Chain A
Amino acid sequence: MDEREVMVRVRAGDAVAERQLYDAHVDRIYQLAYRLAGDDDLAQDFTQETFIRAFERIEGFRGEAAFGTWLYAIATTVILNGLRKVKRFRKREADLDDAAAIGASSSEADPDLKERLASAVDGLPLKYRTVFVMHDVEGYTHEEIGAALGVPPGTSKARLSRARARLREALAEFAGEWVS
């Protein structure tokens, strides 16, 4: 069924149409949320909040862009705001429990490539990490990323380039892996 037709039915309160929209987009949103959060509970929370907001605001969706673009803009807002809150919360927890935090960091003394990469990606500033994950991991285009984040595609490209430069620096000792 045409997406526009589905939208009309959703606006009319048709639960079946809502489920159709959900099915069409939930995988991509959950996967992005999981990639960025690294936690199933958080990813589910962010996905749920994204759809709640989308269904609440669907009257305001004027169809100037694709529904997916509009929905991913909501999703990235929800995810990034959620992650900022989680980061603040975890920082407070870490401040209260310094010993545990030191113990956790010392366990990564000799990481293999995957661990080092994961750690380097985790260490990227959120705006770089978001673009890196969306583009290099989830396969979004710069146009899609720009629309979701509300920035020009050029900004998305620049952020990706900075993210890669930082990763390259962090993975310097593995240079043989990609040079060979």
Chain B
Amino acid sequence: MSDDRFEDFVRRAAQGYHRPPEVPREQMWARLAAARAERKLARASQPSPQQRWVRWGLAAAAVLAVGIGIGRAIGPRPTPRPSGMQMAEGPAGAGEQVPAAFEIAARDHLRHVETFLTVFQYEAREGLAVEETAGLARNLLMNTRLLMDSPAGRDVRMAALLDDVEVMLAQIASYADSPTPAELRLIDMGLEQRGLLLKLRAAVPAENSAFRAQGVL
């Protein structure tokens, strides 16, 4: 039984295997043009990474502002201290109740920080365009500092977390809007070393994340 004979035989016999009809050139060209136009349209209606970041940042700032506003309206007001006069106070965090509105605002803020850092880390590692990061980090940093000075910052654990967040955001904010790969690596290392994302996720459970539910990630 010759191999060559079998090869010839199978090659001839296989010509009928799924024999194609006449190529529907025009039909496919029309479909191709329509599909390309459709995809172009779909792409144009999607927000660019820049627009996505900006929208995200505005939402974060708005939620925090509302939270702090409510907190200030309904929370206990600090008693003015006469200057130079020492007040007897207990240890930080002991026996102090953080008003619910501040707590909610703090959690919302941490959720936004977690989302920001998660997206940032993912895009940095995937080599995707990381744009507008410094501006957003500055906004989040400002909100973080506001919270540190608010009653939310009296809670010892919250204060420690806000401290970590402040350092990380300050680092990101100090770079240009489009960090270099080396800068991205440094930021990524900082995130890993501090275990900040883990801490944030522990403080703000994922199932409560309104942002994820809205499909931001």
Q: Give A contacts to B, CB under 8 Å.
A: 19, 22-23, 26-27, 30-31, 34-38, 40, 43-44, 47-48, 51-52, 55, 113-114, 117-118, 121, 132-133, 136-137, 164, 167-168, 171, 175, 177-179
A121 to B100, CA, bound (A): 69
Are A35 and B31 closer than 8 Å at their CB atoms?
no
Are B10 and A167 closer than 8 Å at their CB atoms?
yes
Are A121 and B20 closer than 8 Å at their CB atoms?
no
7 closest Cβ pairs, A-B complex: A178-B9, A34-B20, A38-B18, A31-B20, A178-B5, A136-B11, A30-B23
Contact among A31, A48, A168 for B23, CB-based, below 8 A: A31
A43 to B31, CA, bound (A): 13
A164 to B15, CA, bound (A): 15
Known interface pairs A22-B32, A179-B5; A40-B14 also in contact (CB < 8 Å): no
Are A44 and B36 closer than 8 Å at their CB atoms?
no
Are B28 and A30 closer than 8 Å at their CB atoms?
yes
Q: How far is the CB of B113 from chain A (nearest CB, A)?
A: 36
Task: List residues of chain A with CB within 8 A of the CB of B17.
Answer: 35, 117-118, 121, 133, 137
27 pairs, CB–CB < 8 Å, chain A vs chain B? A22-B29, A22-B32, A26-B29, A30-B23, A31-B23, A40-B24, A44-B27, A48-B31, A52-B35, A113-B13, A117-B13, A118-B17, A132-B14, A133-B14, A136-B14, A137-B11, A137-B14, A164-B7, A168-B6, A177-B9, A178-B1, A178-B2, A178-B5, A178-B8, A178-B10, A179-B1, A179-B2
Task: List residues of chain A with CB within 8 A of the CB of B13.
Answer: 113-114, 117
Contact among B16, B23, B36 for A55, CB-based, below 8 A: B36
- Using CB atoms, name the residue of chain B closest to A15: B33
Are B28 and A26 closer than 8 Å at their CB atoms?
yes
Contact among A26, A35, A52, A133 for B25, CB-based, below 8 A: A26
A84 to B2, CA, bound (A): 35
Q: B39 in the interface, Cβ–Cβ < 8 Å?
A: yes
Q: How far is the CB of B20 from chain A (nearest CB, A)?
A: 4
Task: List residues of chain B with CB within 8 A of the CB of A133.
Answer: 14, 17
Q: B127 in the interface, Cβ–Cβ < 8 Å?
A: no
Task: List residues of chain B with CB within 8 A of the CB of A113.
Answer: 13
Beyond A26-B25, A30-B20, A117-B13, list 6 extra A-B contacts (CB 8 Å): A52-B32, A121-B17, A132-B14, A137-B11, A175-B1, A179-B5
Most buried by B among A31, A55, A164, A178: A178
Task: List residues of chain B with CB within 8 A of the CB of A34.
Answer: 18, 20-21
Task: List residues of chain A with CB within 8 A of the CB of B29.
Answer: 19, 22, 26
Are A44 and B28 closer than 8 Å at their CB atoms?
yes
Are A48 and B5 closer than 8 Å at their CB atoms?
no
A35 to B16, CA, bound (A): 10
Task: List residues of chain A with CB within 8 A of the CB of B27.
Answer: 44
- Using CB atoms, name the residue of chain A closest to B5: A178
- Using CB atoms, name the residue of chain B closest to A22: B29
Task: List residues of chain A with CB within 8 A of the CB of B6.
Answer: 164, 168, 178
Known interface pairs A113-B13, A117-B13, A178-B6; A43-B32 also in contact (CB < 8 Å): no
Contact among A38, A47, A55, A137 for B28, CB-based, below 8 A: A47
A35 to B23, CA, bound (A): 12
Task: List residues of chain B with CB within 8 A of the CB of A52.
Answer: 32, 35-36, 39
Task: List residues of chain B with CB within 8 A of the CB of A51.
Answer: 32
Known interface pairs A26-B25, A44-B28; A35-B18 also in contact (CB < 8 Å): yes
Are A117 and B20 closer than 8 Å at their CB atoms?
no
Known interface pairs A35-B17, A52-B32, A179-B1; A27-B23 also in contact (CB < 8 Å): yes
Are B20 and A43 closer than 8 Å at their CB atoms?
yes
